Amino acid sequence: MKVLFLPTYFATPHLETEFELMADYLDEGHEVYALQCQGELPTCFGNPEHRRSLCLECRGRFEKGMEVLGNRVTVLPMSRSSDCSEGIPSQFSDIDALKGFTWQGAQIGLSAASTLITKNNEHRLDTIVHQESVDREVRTAIHVFKNFKDTAERIEADHGVIFNGRFSTSLPAINACEQLGISYSTHERGGMSNHYWLVQGALPHDIDNATREIATKWASLPEGEAIRRGSVFFTDRRARVEHSWYSYTKRQRRQQLPAGFDPNQHNISFFNSSIEEYEAVRCWPAPINIYKDEIDAITRIVESAADDPSIRFYVRIHPNLSGRDNTQTRRLRGLHGKYANLTVIDAESPVDTYELMERSAAIVTFGSTMGAEACYWCKPSILLGRALYENEDCAYRPLDHQETVRLIRQKDLPPRPQIGALRYGLWDLERGTPFRHFKPESLTGGTFDGQRVRPRRSLRPWIFVLKIVEYASMRLNLRWWK
């Protein structure tokens, strides 16, 4: 089998994951190819400004990885950028127009939008103000699509391996695989730092795939062992243990509640998520059910219960939004003081997320993992968005606004069965495959076969000097490296 990789994101552990997979395919006797960017792409997720120092560092890390693998991978350089302006609008009126743009059947606009939304932490990105960035991202996506498709055809590839799957440097490659009728897999971080996650024929965001994996994982263990190991996911998160990513609750003060919190009231808490993570993912065309967005949901629910003085609402803004100034955070802050029965807890607040959950009669989420966590801790959970655990029956999923309000008002609402949360927790904690070659030393560092994957020693001073020059030029607003 001929396997084609597209290593366009050089951050650890993602690049090392690609080397790990390459080693596995090579050991199994397959032909492995890597389509390498050597600076041809106008931009990429790891180097949005196309800085020379980062290009050099990326290429140096890739070359080191090839050396560690014994130079057994056939490296194919990308072709130089060619004119592909035909069919590209001179301007996109808004982010929705960009999302809907396709080029030769590829989801170019959606991939560009997903990248730009994440880079700028803004789900309602102004495509007119950011026209230059939009144009570069669109051209990058087209360049990836053309190169990957042409290369896969030329070598007669059987399978493609791609990081994540939603960005401008990945979704177009998936589109190319689909058009050519060849299989593909996507990879991401695993549930623990010593695991990687490989998804066959789907994106990591695919709920149907997650549902299948959850069922398979649960069935692979005796029930008692599955319950014990699934519980670790929830107890560790509450204890602020970091397995595959940072704990956003570490800086909160344990057991601290909002000022004036009255445990005798019927307290309902909303736990939101960062919109940029799911706003432009093809698996989730409608990330929130029933309502237009989280603000629409919060305001309609709060207003519908205004006639009952015993009901008090709290909105816990996700700590991941700390320090951000974007459409989402501005709209959330706009709820401060708007309703007498609503308290908004800022992202930076030391209020303990878990204590608030513990003292609430029910919690409402839009896809946050907190929805499954509440179920585990025997709290009624109401899910209004999409989530990888949505098919595990660990949260109520109302079909309309009236049902949502009925659930909110119910004083004795029972929690959903804990087993659904445990099934999800087991999978999320142990999701993926243990590394054989890569040994993580932190969430963003480690060694591969005992070696650090970094540029050769002679390149490092040049990279360091370039970074200093680039930093100085940025301070002077001179973008000489473009």
Q: Are the beta carbons of 460 and 466 closer than 8 angstroms? A: no
* 47 and 87 housed in the same domain: yes
Closest CA to 351 of 270, 256, 269, 238: 256
pLDDT on residue 59:
94
pLDDT along the chain (482 residues), means of 10: 95 96 98 95 91 91 96 94 74 96 96 95 95 95 96 98 96 98 98 97 96 98 97 95 85 92 96 89 88 95 95 95 92 94 95 96 96 98 96 97 97 96 98 97 93 89 81 68 52
**Domain for residue 246, yes or no?**
yes
pLDDT on residue 473:
76
Q: Are the beta carbons of 243 and 194 closer than 8 angstroms? A: no
**Domain for residue 218, yes or no?**
no
* 36 and 183 housed in the same domain: yes
* 139 and 247 housed in the same domain: no
- Tell me the pLDDT tens digit for each residue of 151-207: 999 999 999 999 999 999 999 999 999 999 999 999 999 999 999 999 999 999 999
Q: Are the beta carbons of 366 and 372 closer than 8 angstroms? A: no
**Domain for residue 482, yes or no?**
no
Buried b (16+ CB within 10 A) or exposed e, 132-158: ebbbbbbbbbbbbbbbbbebbeebebe
pLDDT on residue 99:
96
Other CB atoms within 10 A of residue 104 CB? 15
- Domain that includes residue 383, residue range: 223-430
* 137 and 230 housed in the same domain: no
- Tell me the pLDDT tens digit for each residue of 393-404: 999 999 999 999
Whole-structure pTM value: 0.93
**Domain for residue 115, yes or no?**
yes
* 318 and 452 housed in the same domain: no
**Domain for residue 480, yes or no?**
no
What is the C-alpha separation between 247 and 237, in angstroms, rounded?
Answer: 8
* 292 and 416 housed in the same domain: yes
* 35 and 84 housed in the same domain: yes
What is the C-alpha separation between 460 and 41, in angstroms, rounded?
Answer: 23
pLDDT on residue 482:
53
* 97 and 208 housed in the same domain: yes
Closest CA to 10 of 54, 48, 51: 54
pLDDT on residue 246:
83
Mean pLDDT of the chain: 93
* 55 and 37 housed in the same domain: yes
Residue 236 sits in a domain of what CATH number? 3.40.50.2000
Token pair 């949901």: residue: 297
**Overall domain count for the chain:** 2
* 115 and 234 housed in the same domain: no
* 439 and 425 housed in the same domain: no
* 15 and 155 housed in the same domain: yes
**Domain for residue 386, yes or no?**
yes
pLDDT on residue 86:
75
Collect all residues with Cβ–Cβ distance below 8 Å to 423 and sequence separation of at least 6.
Answer: 214, 215, 217, 218, 226, 230, 392
pLDDT on residue 311:
97
